[in-house]
Copies of this chain bind each other. A is one copy, B any other.
Amino acid sequence: MQRRPEGQELPFNVFAKACPSRGTLEHVTGRWGALTLGALHEGSLRFNELRRRVDGVSEKMLSQTLHALERDGLVHREAQPTNPPRVDYELTPLGREVAGRLLSLIHYVEGSMEAVLQARERYDGTRGAR
């Protein structure tokens, strides 16, 4: 598969089917993972704050997403044993690095949407509207 003679190279390669990095990348770039990391990049948030910020996410999906990100070491969960309970989620240093790169992508895509929409019109037009 990949050669690795001497110096340190990347032992992990997303292009390989079995590589665990693929799973992590999917947690990060998945529909809810990406938005969750993006939201947390601006600061720590509580569960329901996150839910409101990530428009459209269900309780279940948010919970599941947060577990995956926490397990991968990207998000830290801070639970206060008060009543009512208060739980804050925040990015770990690793999570901040990842979220930063992710946001760079997200912002670029947002900024390109006009071009994208025009491309779509051209594409759809050319082929008799599908």
Contacting B at CB under 8 A, from A106-130, are 106-113, 115-120, 122-124
Known contacts A29-B34, A102-B105, A105-B105, then 13 further A-B pairs from the complex at CB < 8 Å, ordered by chain A residue: A12-B110, A12-B111, A13-B110, A15-B53, A21-B109, A21-B110, A26-B31, A70-B123, A71-B124, A72-B120, A73-B115, A73-B118, A73-B119
Dominant secondary structure at the A interface: helix
Contact B15 A111 (CB under 8 A): no
Contact A109 B25 (CB under 8 A): yes
Q: How far is the CA of A97 from the CA of B38 in the complex (A)?
A: 20
Q: Identify the closest chain B residue to A108 (Cβ).
A: B101
Contacting B at CB under 8 A, from A1-41, are 10-17, 20-22, 24-26, 28-31, 34-35, 38-39
| Residues of chain B with a CB closer than 8 A to A87's CB | none
Contact B123 A71 (CB under 8 A): yes
Q: Any chain B CB within 8 A of the CB of A45?
A: no
Contact A25 B106 (CB under 8 A): yes
Contact A24 B116 (CB under 8 A): yes
Contact A109 B120 (CB under 8 A): no
| Residues of chain B with a CB closer than 8 A to A101's CB | 101, 104-105, 108
